[in-house]
């Protein structure tokens, strides 16, 4: 596809930028629509958790995509936006930001951002994907989250401008968007996501609803599942809350 033309709609207050774009997608809105909010009254993260942020503190944005890919590639939509967000943070602040499986960004191993993709289907075919991203700019999140924000990272001398950060994110996303539409491009995205994921090569504890897995994260497979080598063999995980315990010497991303 040609480069998307971004149509940015900035709201003082909205229930959820993802909810807004999903509704617009059902009404036939074209790819490239972007919703940004100073404040969300019903923001949400993974597993329907609430995503809360003080008014005007952080970048809360969602983008509407209509990629020519299958439902099995939804994780690549998440990863593509996550990498664009990481690029934007680096360009704006000079801070190195890594991906954390399944849908977070981390700086100095503290949560900096979360990414959430939601899909719309027509007759079993993937019709639209809305990818929301919340980047901690001036507020690191609640104390229990042990997060961080761009303004408090070492070397960041001035407050980060959210509009500039969004512009950089969309510029970076433009360079990768077309890769979602063909098999070779999706393979390239898979390789890049693996190379930028801080979870690979780390001893991890993965908490799920009724179970817990402890071991070394060795890979992300082609279906986006995290592969954890445990005492009883490899386990392929589709979701879970990951705690990085320690980096394995020489065990970084392949």
Q: At what angle do helices 74-93 and 162-177 cross, to 10 degrees?
A: 130
Rounded Cα distance between 134 and 149, Å, is 11
| pTM of this structure | 0.92
- Residue extents of the structural domains in the chain: 7-195, 202-247
Q: What is the pLDDT of residue 51?
A: 61
Q: What is the pLDDT of residue 253?
A: 43
Q: What is the pLDDT of residue 254?
A: 35
Rounded Cα distance between 31 and 34, Å, is 9
Q: What is the pLDDT of residue 208?
A: 87
**Which DSSP string corresponds to 166-178?**
HHHHHHHHHHHHG
Return the CATH superfamily for domain 7-195.
Bira Bifunctional Protein; Domain 2 (3.30.930.10)
Q: Which CATH number fits domain 202-247: 1.10.1450.10, 3.30.70.260, 3.80.30.20, 2.30.30.100?
A: 2.30.30.100
Strand duo 33-37 + 7-11: pairing: parallel
Rounded Cα distance between 141 and 128, Å, is 30
* Run means of pLDDT, 10 residues per run, the chain, 254 residues: 82 96 97 97 64 89 97 96 98 95 94 96 93 97 88 93 98 98 97 97 92 96 96 95 76 44
CB 206 within 8 Å of CB 241: yes
Q: What is the pLDDT of residue 252?
A: 47
Q: What is the pLDDT of residue 47?
A: 47
Lay out the sheet containing 233-237: strands in order across: 233-237, 226-230, 212-220, 202-207, 241-247
């Amino acid at each position: 596809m040609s480069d998307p033309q971004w149509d940015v709609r900035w709201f003082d207050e909205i229930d959820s930028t993802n909810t807004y774009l999903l509704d617009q997608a059902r009404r036939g809105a074209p790819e490239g629509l972007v919703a940004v909010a100073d404040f969300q009254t019903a923001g949400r993260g993974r597993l329907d958790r609430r995503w809360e942020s003080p008014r005007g503190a952080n970048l809360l944005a969602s983008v509407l995509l209509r990629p020519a890919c299958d439902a099995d590639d939804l994780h690549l939509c998440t990863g593509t936006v996550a990498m664009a967000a990481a690029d934007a943070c680096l360009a704006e602040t000079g801070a190195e930001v890594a991906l954390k499986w399944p849908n977070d960004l981390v700086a100095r191993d503290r949560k900096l951002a979360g990414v959430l993709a939601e899909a719309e289907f027509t007759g079993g075919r993937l019709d639209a994907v809305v990818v929301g991203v919340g980047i901690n700019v001036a507020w690191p999140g609640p104390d229990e989250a042990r997060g961080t924000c761009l303004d408090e990272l070492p070397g960041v001398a001035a407050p980060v401008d959210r509009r500039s950060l969004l512009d950089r994110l969309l510029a970076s996303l433009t360079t990768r968007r077309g890769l979602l539409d063909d098999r070779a491009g999706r393979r390239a995205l898979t390789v890049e996501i693996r190379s930028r994921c801080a979870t690979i090569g780390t001893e991890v504890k993965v908490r799920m609803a009724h179970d817990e897995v402890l071991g070394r994260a060795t890979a992300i497979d082609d279906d986006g599942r995290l592969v954890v080598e445990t005492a009883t063999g490899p386990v392929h995980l589709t979701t879970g809350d990951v705690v990085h315990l320690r980096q394995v010497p020489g065990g970084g991303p392949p």
